A and B are shown apart, each in its own frame.
Chain A
Amino acid sequence: MKILMFGWELPPFHSGGLGVACEGLTKALLAQGAQVLFVLPKKFALPKTPFPVLFANEQEQKSRPFSFDFSAYSTLVCHLGLSDKNQKAQKAFAPSDLLAEVFAYAQNARKIAVGNDFDVIHVHDWLCIPAGIAAKEVSGKPLVVHIHATEFDRSGSLPHPLVYAIEEQGMQKAERVVAVSEFTKNKIIDCYGIEERKIRVVYNAVDNDFSAFSVRGANELLALKREGHKIVVFVGRITLQKGPDYFLRAAQKVLAYKPKVFFVIAGSGDMHAQIIEQAVHLGIADKVFFAGFVRGEELKKIYLAADLFVMPSVSEPFGITALEAVSLGVPIVISKQSGVQELIRNALKVDFWDIEEMANKILACLDYSVLPHTLKEESQKDLAKISWHKSAQQCVKIYQELCK
């Protein structure tokens, strides 16, 4: 089975869960015996990967200068969030930049599809959908559209019409749509009118490597813990979708009740300045650390110091960071508006808007020591049932259905 897979990013050059998920899934597909040719839009100095990677822009005779910005994904998101509200932002939003990339990718995909032998096309998210459609047009091969997030998750109720149109068209044209959760599947049915029969839910997983590699150097957060402080962490882009503002408001309630707690925000995004301002406004700026966008070892240090991980997402198709936390033995409080909560039963769950209950659960976890202990122990049972291996098996089954 030969798969032509179009992605947008891969670790360590990733801006979020999409790259992590693509890598985890592709590795597991190889183990299943599938041959994956992984395509990225632009050339960059990727470390050695266990699967062949093709850079789409190298297909061009004369490629543009090497200037691909991997934060573009989140940059677009921030503009989308504001697009209808703010005229100025709308002007600043130059869809040509990113959309030009997206369509250039599609142009190149056409050439890749002609020059390579494959059985199925598998694309991830809207950024790769035009590429998938182009490849399908020239090859006539079946198309799988894998949805890690919809425009509704990213933008709330104000989807960018063009992005929405791309998503909708891609899913209509696809033979199969893969949703990362039931939560996402329902969105695909309700917001895009896609027939249920062609949607399959394939959950993300967490890479074993993540809990395996060791961390070197001092962990400054542990010093705070030795002074009797508790550490509560948020890991994710600082955007509307991830609910950092709810995190801060819950933090304020917690601190009013229990002052010896530090809140760590690991991530960056368009709401960064607003969130810092909000922390000041709430009078808790001295209790909130902004770690910026961290990955690898630095990210792991934060998890290892954490007493609790909170994911207050407003709309989270999956939430791979929650799995990372669980795999490192960190108890989690997660939004009910998330996909990962379908998998991890042994977690504390709240509606993202229910600040009071979020604070209640954070405090319970910090105060009643058997609670995090039980969560930690029991959630390993949930984790044991999740693997990229299993997800890859489900994908292979989908490919087989299409190639019959």
Chain B
Amino acid sequence: MPSVCLYFHAHQPCRLNRFSVFQIGSHIPYFDEEQNYYYLERVVRKCYIPANHLLLNLIKHYKGKFRVSFSLSGLLLEQLEKYFPDVLKTFQALLGSGCVELLGETYYHSLAFLYSPKEFQKQVFLHRRKLNELFHYQPLAFRNTELAFNNRIAQEIEKMGYKVVLTEGADHILGWRSPDFVYQSATAKNLKILTRNYRLSDDISFRFSERSWSQWPLTPDKFAFWVNQINGNGNVVNLFMDYETLGEHQWEETGIFQFIENLPKEILKHKDNNFLTVSQAAKLYAPVGEIDCPQTISWADTERDLSAWLGNQMQREAISKIYDLEEPIMSARHRVLQEQWRKLQTSDHFYYMCTKWFADGDVHKYFNPYESPYDCFIAYMNILRDLQMQLKEI
């Protein structure tokens, strides 16, 4: 009997101001409040409000048979608190339904695990504290930024008390094995791993509105048929995607909301099927094997790696420079500077510096609030210099 584990990730970064070299030393704000509000308002309107409403209705309608898991980055939560407290309430209502699980992650949606295990722990802790503050909730499952995962992260997470972690069902890690089972880490034996079924997940998140796709239009009964085919060959179908898929990546006009609305009905038609949250799935099914992952994998691109964040020299330079500041920032004990330093760790900044698809002009792959990856790099480096100056001044 395949269970369906539906997991959504929601996050909004704090985008940078166009900080010019002539502003170094001025200490003007690093983050573009206006622009961030613009993007947040849009995603709230197009996705969070209608999608939360829909999921809440589904949960009520199916009386415990429809479940869903979420991760909400700390940065998103604080922006919602500030600008859209009513929307935050709807997330709280979702959790209150008893059919929703929240996952832990780094508060600042960072790649800290690669550069500073200490900072990584602190950010995970900050996120825990935020979930406790807003939801009175202690997460048991973990998702790392971009579902990045390796053996070392597994050990780190296990030490912090998490029981289950999500990652990509990457072919080069699973080999012949299916993503539709529960695994355990080769290096952290008590940590269970759920792997994303990227084919079925991407059918919704990427291909749903793709008219040139042979399976278009995707209907709930067709999708349920594919899920049913796994019956006997798998335990849990992990559908992991950005929450913004609903209404933002796939516009309302594509019929994505109707699809989600009718999906539970079609899935549950088969009496063997059910919906589980991440931790429920990990608890219910015994691991069928180990995952040994010496290299970092992620849920991104065909490479399933972090090359979109760290693939070019600018990205690596910027990220290594920000972590060079860890020691001085920590010893300065200045709350505001510390917070700014952490906001600068958000992975999105490095993603905006990506040049991978830039020459192709592929706008679908390449969303960037800056005109070019170079503009982002310049602003970032200028801000870093200003931050260094501020540090020296205290």
Q: Which A positions have Cβ atoms within 8 angstroms of B?
A: 253, 257, 345-346, 348-349, 356-357, 359-361, 363-364, 367-368, 370-371, 373-375, 377-378, 381-382, 385
* Residue contact B377 to A368, C-beta cutoff 8 Å: yes
* Residue contact A368 to B317, C-beta cutoff 8 Å: yes
* Residue contact A374 to B378, C-beta cutoff 8 Å: no
Give the residue name and chain of the A residue nearest to B375 (CB): A348
Contacts of B285 in A (CB 8 A): none
Which residues of B285-344 have CB atoms within 8 Å of chain A's CB atoms? 312-314, 316-317
In the bound complex, what is the Cα–Cα distance between A359 and B378 (angstroms)? 12
* Residue contact A370 to B372, C-beta cutoff 8 Å: no
Give the residue name and chain of the A residue nearest to B19 (CB): A360
Among the stretches B8-16, B258-266, B353-361, B386-394, the one at the interface with A is: B353-361
| Given known A368-B317, A368-B378, A378-B312, contact A345–B21 (CB-CB < 8 A) | no
Give the residue name and chain of the B residue nearest to A361 (CB): B378
* Residue contact B359 to A364, C-beta cutoff 8 Å: no
* Residue contact A364 to B382, C-beta cutoff 8 Å: yes
Is B381 at the interface (CB under 8 A from chain A)? yes
In the bound complex, what is the Cα–Cα distance between A126 and B74 (angstroms)? 62
In the bound complex, what is the Cα–Cα distance between A291 and B10 (angstroms)? 57
* Residue contact A360 to B377, C-beta cutoff 8 Å: no
In the bound complex, what is the Cα–Cα distance between A373 and B355 (angstroms)? 13
* Residue contact A382 to B372, C-beta cutoff 8 Å: no
In the bound complex, what is the Cα–Cα distance between A367 and B24 (angstroms)? 13
Is B34 at the interface (CB under 8 A from chain A)? no
User: A374 contacts which of B21, B312, B359 (Cβ < 8 Å)?
Assistant: B312
* Residue contact A357 to B372, C-beta cutoff 8 Å: no
Is B253 at the interface (CB under 8 A from chain A)? no
CB distance from A345 to the nearest CB of B (A): 6
Contacts of A360 in B (CB 8 A): 20-22, 378, 382
In the bound complex, what is the Cα–Cα distance between A363 and B378 (angstroms)? 10
Is B115 at the interface (CB under 8 A from chain A)? no
* Residue contact B20 to A357, C-beta cutoff 8 Å: yes
* Residue contact A378 to B355, C-beta cutoff 8 Å: yes
* Residue contact A349 to B378, C-beta cutoff 8 Å: no
CB distance from A10 to the nearest CB of B (A): 32
* Residue contact B20 to A346, C-beta cutoff 8 Å: no
Contacts of A359 in B (CB 8 A): 21-22
CB distance from A332 to the nearest CB of B (A): 11
Q: Mark B350-380, 1 if CB is under 8 A from A, else 0.
A: 0000010011010000000001101101100
Contacts of A346 in B (CB 8 A): 355, 358-359, 372, 374
7 A-B residue pairings within 8 Å (CB atoms): A257-B22, A345-B372, A348-B375, A360-B382, A370-B317, A373-B313, A378-B355
In the bound complex, what is the Cα–Cα distance between A243 and B355 (angstroms)? 29
In the bound complex, what is the Cα–Cα distance between A253 and B21 (angstroms)? 11
In the bound complex, what is the Cα–Cα distance between A360 and B312 (angstroms)? 22
Chain A interface SS verdict (over half): helix
CB distance from B344 to the nearest CB of A (A): 16
Contacts of B20 in A (CB 8 A): 356-357, 360
Contacts of A253 in B (CB 8 A): 22
In the bound complex, what is the Cα–Cα distance between A370 and B316 (angstroms)? 9
Tally of chain B residues near chain A (CB < 8 A): 20
Contacts of B378 in A (CB 8 A): 360-361, 364, 368, 371
* Residue contact B358 to A345, C-beta cutoff 8 Å: yes
A345-B372, A361-B378, A381-B359 known; 13 new pairs, CB 8 Å cut-off, are A349-B372, A356-B20, A356-B22, A359-B22, A360-B22, A360-B382, A364-B378, A364-B381, A368-B317, A374-B312, A374-B313, A378-B355, A378-B359
In the bound complex, what is the Cα–Cα distance between A137 and B381 (angstroms)? 61
* Residue contact B317 to A382, C-beta cutoff 8 Å: no
With contacts defined as CB atoms under 8 Å apart, how many contacts are there between chain A and chain B in the complex? Answer: 65
Give the residue name and chain of the B residue nearest to A379 (CB): B359
In the bound complex, what is the Cα–Cα distance between A371 and B378 (angstroms)? 8
| Given known A375-B374, A378-B312, contact A345–B381 (CB-CB < 8 A) | no
| Pairs of residues from A and B, 4 with the lowest C-beta to C-beta distance, nearest first | A381-B359, A364-B378, A360-B20, A370-B313
Q: Mark B176-220, 1 if CB is under 8 A from A, else 0.
A: 000000000000000000000000000000000000000000000
User: A371 contacts which of B22, B359, B361, B377 (Cβ < 8 Å)?
Assistant: B377
* Residue contact A348 to B374, C-beta cutoff 8 Å: yes
Contacts of B317 in A (CB 8 A): 368, 370
Contacts of B372 in A (CB 8 A): 345-346, 348-349
Contacts of A377 in B (CB 8 A): 312
Contacts of A357 in B (CB 8 A): 20
CB distance from A322 to the nearest CB of B (A): 15
* Residue contact A363 to B21, C-beta cutoff 8 Å: yes
CB distance from B295 to the nearest CB of A (A): 24
In the bound complex, what is the Cα–Cα distance between A371 and B318 (angstroms)? 11
In the bound complex, what is the Cα–Cα distance between A305 and B375 (angstroms)? 25
In the bound complex, what is the Cα–Cα distance between A382 and B377 (angstroms)? 20
Contacts of A373 in B (CB 8 A): 313
User: A378 contacts which of B316, B358, B375, B382 (Cβ < 8 Å)?
Assistant: B358
In the bound complex, what is the Cα–Cα distance between A371 and B382 (angstroms)? 13
Give the residue name and chain of the B residue nearest to A381 (CB): B359
* Residue contact A370 to B314, C-beta cutoff 8 Å: yes
In the bound complex, what is the Cα–Cα distance between A198 and B358 (angstroms)? 31
In the bound complex, what is the Cα–Cα distance between A27 and B94 (angstroms)? 69
* Residue contact A364 to B21, C-beta cutoff 8 Å: yes
Q: Which of A253, A345, A368, A373 has the most CB of B within 10 A?
A: A368
* Residue contact A257 to B21, C-beta cutoff 8 Å: yes
* Residue contact B355 to A374, C-beta cutoff 8 Å: yes
Give the residue name and chain of the B residue nearest to A366 (CB): B21
Give the residue name and chain of the A residue nearest to B371 (CB): A349
Contacts of A367 in B (CB 8 A): 21, 381
CB distance from B14 to the nearest CB of A (A): 21
Give the residue name and chain of the A residue nearest to B380 (CB): A368
CB distance from A40 to the nearest CB of B (A): 37
Contacts of B314 in A (CB 8 A): 370-371, 374
Give the residue name and chain of the A residue nearest to B378 (CB): A364
Contacts of B377 in A (CB 8 A): 364, 368, 371, 374
Contacts of A363 in B (CB 8 A): 21
Contacts of B355 in A (CB 8 A): 346, 374, 378
* Residue contact A345 to B22, C-beta cutoff 8 Å: no
In the bound complex, what is the Cα–Cα distance between A361 and B22 (angstroms)? 11
In the bound complex, what is the Cα–Cα distance between A253 and B23 (angstroms)? 13
Give the residue name and chain of the B residue nearest to A362 (CB): B21
